[in-house]
Amino acid sequence: MSENDANNELLVGFIDESMNAIQDLPALLASFKNDSSNVEAVHSVFRTVHSIKGNAGFFGLTAIKKFAHSLENALDEVRNQKTPLTEDLCRALIEGIDSLDHMLHAVENQTHSETLSEADLKLLEQVAILSKSKGAGESGSEESAADALLADLLEMADEMTAAGFPESLQWAERLRELGQVSAPAPEAKTIATPADLLSQQFSIGGFEVTLSVRRLIEMFVQAETAPFDDDRSTAFMEAMAELKLCARNASDSTLLTALEEAGRNFKTIYDSGIGVDAMLLSIVWDQIAPALESLTPQPEPTPAPEAAAPSQETAPPKSPESESGDADSAKEKGASGKKTRFLRVNEESIDNFLDDVSSLFITCERLKDIQSRMTHATELRELIEELRQVNISFNMQANRLQKSVVSLRRVPIRGMFSKFPRMARSLASSLGKKLDVHLAGEDLEVDKSLLEELDAPLTHMIRNVADHALELPEDRKVRGLNEVGNLWLGAETTRTHVLITIRDDGRGIDPNRLRRKAVQSGAITESQAERMSDQEAVELIFHPGLSTAEQVTEISGRGVGMDVVRTMVQDNGGEIRVESTVGVGTNFTIEIPIRQAVLVIDGLLIHEGEERFVVPFDAIREVLDLPYEELKTAGGAPVVTLRGTTYAAVSLAETLDIPQSAEKSKSDRFSAVLMTSKQGDACLMVDRVVGKRKVVVNSLQNILPDVRSISGVAQLGGGELALVLSSTEIIRSLKR
């Protein structure tokens, strides 16, 4: 891997981790605002912003570094209890976190700026005033690099001390020692730089040591152009050891003590894994420079050609072109060309997956052994029983492997949820409204492709809340409500479905207004409107071309929206429901099947004519064998009554336009499957019920997108195929 590729990978990792870390910060701030004893919440926010600031500086992202540092100043005032976290300050900090998230996305898309926008500067000024901290313009000039380093070292020491383990306490003490060295007293004598001493000659007690000292000094000079890698760090420690040997032989205790202390500090920095750069190495230099400077120089220095020339490890000085190129280095480090898609996978899932794969190899070997023994066996009964046991084991391992593969595709829903609070607050603010967003179920994991399908409809619905449902602050006050509206976005799962809820405490949907709009647009007649219940009227929101907006805006009002949302949900085998009360708010529920790239299900195999079908076990209440006299008619439609409950009856042959078999027309009985779904229950009449099967299901959405009653195709044993029926769509078709 080239250095450029490594830098790109580091930048991508930083952006990805930072965006994930930011997601929880608004909730943590709100938690601390509501309960000031929860100090760990604000400390966690501070640490995250502090980490982003430090890493942004490493990658040359000056705007992000400056912005994060100003937020850090305000958070420091809050966590040290110098400033209370008021409602206004909390909201300003959350807006700042949203802006920081926006900047990180801009870096990811290679559209970021090296300077802060006017809006960002204005926000930072507001944060500084509210928190009485340093503003964006003050922080960069008043905090020197040494002060920043000292603060970082001491903060790391505090965190390690809090851990309470013996090793962490030792590390904390070493870091405090480094912090003390990095903050010399103002009256201290100016220390010579490595460049100042590089051309000097040195001796200890009359012994010439110029070559050894220069070799060490050269490495300090090299650090100013590039951080140390492992090889250079090893060479540095060898140079220190060589000079310590000279000091010991010359009995120079001052130099020996300085070198030993500096060596321990260098090892602390190196072992920490944070990298050895010029700033950290300056701590070591400050310890040994006075001792090196005190060595008696030779009165008539002679050139030392072998040391004067830079070593092969010395990096060449930067040309003006390379320096100017560094200003855009962060952009160059972004991903170029086609964007690669990644799945963030839990390490435990990978381990489980590998364990399951390994167990399959073991089972395969057992099958080979049995096959070999069967070739020469005269009595097969024992081998057949053993083969049965191996087959049971193989089936269990295959199930575990399938679940492991499915888990690899799952990602937390927070990846999609995290963008909605900023989007909703920003839109509400642009309309003169105030909105708080509350998330629940962010840790729920679902298939990545399902998230991609849900993204567009959820985005539209949340924009609708900010534009339509939420009132202006003064209107909410008139109704006796808090001027800040609320949006609740939640996720949960059942065994087979994902449930998404979008709830608000806005004005609610007026059924009478929707009736009038529907009549005016010609969607329904006046007589139909009069017969409609309020719930049926509210559901007109899903009618194509119908909008409750009084005027068309850039956001909404063209009547293209909720019908598209419903279509997208139904295309994925789901459904959407709405409940609303005027003056209380609206609640949308999206229920959509859990998607897997390849699905293994338990199903009931049935025959209709010459065709085979599978009904998922989850959709079956009962399997029936009934005489034809049980089949009645109600309102012109066939029905079946079971234990006092009447169910609509539907023929699979008629539903899918399949010719009926001759045997069925002669029989006085029929087989039926009582199916269930959120739409209700119905009795599906079929030719024959074969039995339970475990089948592998593949989606047919891309091949047969308009055939809603079929949800997929199942692979049966022997290479045969069967279509998988959708109980939801079959029952829904009866209600149309």
pLDDT digits (tens, 9 = 90+) for 219-229: 888 877 777 88
Mean pLDDT throughout 482-504? 90
DSSP-derived letter for residue 542 is: G
pLDDT digits (tens, 9 = 90+) for 213-262: 888 888 888 877 777 888 888 888 888 888 888 888 778 888 888 888 88
Cα 25 to Cα 675: distance, rounded to the nearest angstrom: 46
Mean pLDDT throughout 33-42? 86
Q: Which two tokens stand for residue 480?
A: 């006796």
Q: Which of 57, 55, 103, 52 is nearest to 75 (CA)?
A: 52
pLDDT digits (tens, 9 = 90+) for 508-527: 999 999 999 899 888 889 99
pLDDT digits (tens, 9 = 90+) for 58-106: 788 888 988 998 898 899 888 888 889 988 888 889 888 888 888 988 8
pLDDT digits (tens, 9 = 90+) for 343-391: 566 656 666 665 666 566 556 656 666 666 666 666 677 777 777 787 7
- Which of the four pLDDT bands, split at 50, 70 and 90, describes residue 702? low
* CATH code, residues 599-735: 2.40.50.180
Cα 714 to Cα 575: distance, rounded to the nearest angstrom: 23
Percent of the chain clearing pLDDT 90 (strictly above): 15
Cα 366 to Cα 359: distance, rounded to the nearest angstrom: 11
How far CA 672 is from CA of 56, 609, 625, 675, 685, in Å, comes to 65, 14, 6, 9, 4
DSSP-derived letter for residue 551 is: S
Domains of the chain: which residue ranges? 3-143, 192-312, 359-409, 413-509+548-593, 599-735
Yes or no: say if 438 and 486 are a contact pair by the CB < 8 Å rule.
Answer: yes
Yes or no: say if 83 and 77 are a contact pair by the CB < 8 Å rule.
Answer: yes
The region of weakest confidence among 4-13, 253-262, 598-607, 626-635 is: 4-13
Q: Answer whether CATH 3.30.565.10 is correct for domain 413-509+548-593.
A: yes
Tell me the three state secondary structure of residue 625: strand
Are 3-143 and 599-735 equal in CATH topology? no
pTM of the complete model: 0.51
CB atoms within 10 A of CB 123: 22
Q: Answer whether CATH 1.10.287.90 is correct for domain 3-143.
A: no
Yes or no: say if 649 and 734 are a contact pair by the CB < 8 Å rule.
Answer: no
Tell me the three state secondary structure of residue 29: helix
580 or 635: which carries more pLDDT confidence? 580
Q: Answer whether CATH 1.20.120 is correct for domain 192-312.
A: yes
